[in-house]
Structure 1
């Protein structure tokens, strides 16, 4: 079987790292990188440290509005699909790359297989929600990470195409999270120079436009971080670095370490060793859950309801008092609660692809 896999953003690279290694034992995979994440630390470094096969196609498409990016990607991916004539397309998650690839394949009558199907926030102001809903409804095989994903697809009459496989992000965390120790990490500071990881620290990731697009929201997040009892390590997304540096200077921040983006192995190590985590990332809140770390997610909607059990993850608004109050809530960790699978999602994904091929 010939499979074209399309990725474009760092969470997709992590999932592809575990799935591609299993897939290529049995089948031919053509890997396409759209270029949606193009910075070295956001893209190339992930391919290197996770030993992801070099992309067969690198489309170099990033920037512009959602429509511009999606349209350019569709045209480029269509050319790849026409040239390669795959038996199916494999896509991950909910990015513009995901939707563009799914639309291009569906219009060419190529079966679309969607990993992380059924995830819902029920907030259509969130562009990723539109991407994931549209991708699910044009996919031939829906591969759910959680039981709640299966339930959502049943509600939308998609259950007959859905298979519960678990979360390949959990596979990756099990395999890679202990590759580094804190002493192995050297942070590249936005102010210049390098720094080691503090002995005790909090880990902040914050990149979404709703939290970083205005001074007022990011100021509130910084106010909360400044009041914590240990330094806060904040690797800053490239598009937010100018604002973060300016606000840090204006607010005379002393507790927040602004750094360049880090690779997956470094990030997973920091998740394991942080006191607590503050994020607006769908991926990082799951990794905090995998590591048993208290997490506060700065979003107005639940992305992964499974992580919310026992106060292990709480939503907060970009408001200093709210963030601090949620961080103070005690979490309850039940070791036998494993809603994201058993760490073998990659094998189950490939098995589902094989079964689909046999039944066509």
Structure 2
């Protein structure tokens, strides 16, 4: 579709590092189809290690706009996002807005677009933890209600949307674009290089923890640190520390154990290399559950639930409590079993094959271009 056509622009809204990884294959696939695109970075993750390095490593075009929202309470951040995105969409009148995942930027963009009668596509629709204490659960549910196109990464997500009464014609099971990015870069994830760069031992456990339930309450953080120290009595722990949890973990003394190595946040390539080389991973991140599933690395998720149960049924993930952490790590290390990343294996999730971005691009393109190649006139978002 020629870029000169009026109102033909597709806007991608990204704000946090998981968004960047999901957006890269979609942006690339739409570019191959000739669509005019604009990338709006909200600045929800704003320093180089959490943001700019991802654009460089993933080949994403430099953001056309950086709203520079930064951190703050949910209310403050969402309010700033609404104001900035409304100005941007009103000025540009995009034909479609594509949002990713479940961060505050995702919900804000969907809400603004819906009120301006701009159709929304939600990549990673239908995931449900059924835990309303999670801000992400609120964001993803409301975004799904506002979206014209809902792109599901796993079969159970399609079922959740059907149970909520979403029109089946709006739902598309496309696979997982985060896995597209992982498979495209598989040869770049070098555990030996990351061990050498950070002087790490051959055997270590990688950890990444940032969820409010694990870091916001000082007592909870202190108990978790005590368990991590128990693990570190037997194996080194390497933990890139998310800015959100740094103060809580340092206050609880996480760095006071000689076998706990705290790192600054890593870029995408280096982080996945760290995960790939780990004997096990301890996390509360949804994306890490998916990456370890494909890499065959044992994953212990410190949460009572997951919106990605397919990483348990088709992957290496298991849910554990803080009290179970030392014994669970010991069991995984004693077992020592791993499998290689293989998108064609029978036990990997369906359609996690590296082609989700192209499937998404084909559907979005069909919405914008009629059967005769002329521009279609998209109707407003659901609920508008």
TM-score (norm 1): 0.92
Match of 1:209 among 204, 207, 212: 212
- The alignment partner of 1:100 has SS state of helix
Residue of structure 1 equivalent to 2:253: 248
Partner of 1:124: 132
CA distance in 1 between partners of 2:219 and 2:258 (Å): 19
Instruction: Deviation per CA, 1:143-171: give whole Å up to 9, x if none.
Output: 10111111111111112210000000111
Question: What residue is the counterpart of 2:349 in the other structure?
Answer: 339
Which residue of 35, 40, 47 maps to 2:43? 35
Aligned pair in 2 of structure 1 residues 307, 61: CA closer, same or farther (>3 Å)?
same
What does residue range 264-343 of structure 1 map to in structure 2 within 5 Å?
Answer: 264-309=268-313, 312-319=316-323, 322-327=324-329, 328=331, 335-341=345-351, 342-343=353-354
Separation in 2 of the partners of 1:273 and 1:224?
A: 22
Aligned residues between the structures: 351
- 1:206-262 alpha-carbon deviations (Å, 9 max, x no partner): 01121112333233333333334321110001232233234337x831221011000
Matched, 1:223 2:226: yes
Shift of 1:310: 7.0
Moved more, 15-24 or 345-354: 15-24
TM-score (normalised: structure 2): 0.86
SS in 1 for 2:37: strand
Instruction: Tell me whether 74-83 or 222-231 shows the greater mean CA deviation.
Output: 222-231
SS at match of 2:99: strand
Distance in 2 (alpha carbons) for counterparts of 1:80 and 1:47:
21
1:119 and 1:339 map into 2 onto residues whose CA distance is 15
8 A contact 2:101–2:124 mirrored in 1: yes
In structure 2, relative to structure 1, the CA distance for the partners of 1:123 and 1:29 (3 Å cut) is same
CA distance 1:276–1:270, change in 2 (3 Å)? same
Is 1:2 the counterpart of 2:9? The answer is: yes
Q: Which runs of 4+ in 1 moved over 6 A?
A: 331-334
Using the alignment, how far apart are the partners of 1:280 and 1:183 within structure 2? 25
Distance 1:221 1:340 in 2: 35
Give the drift of 1:71.
1.6
CA RMSD of aligned residues (A): 2.1
Match of 1:233 in 2: 238
- Aligned-pair distance for 1:121? 0.5
Equivalents in 2 of 1:174, 1:332: separation in Å? 18
Structure 1: give runs of 5+ residues left out of the alignment.
188-193
Identify the range of structure 1 (9-18 vs 233-242) with the bigger mean alpha-carbon deviation.
233-242
Which moved further from structure 2: 303-312 or 32-41? 303-312
Tell whether the 8 Å contact from 1:310 to 1:332 is kept in structure 2 after alignment: no
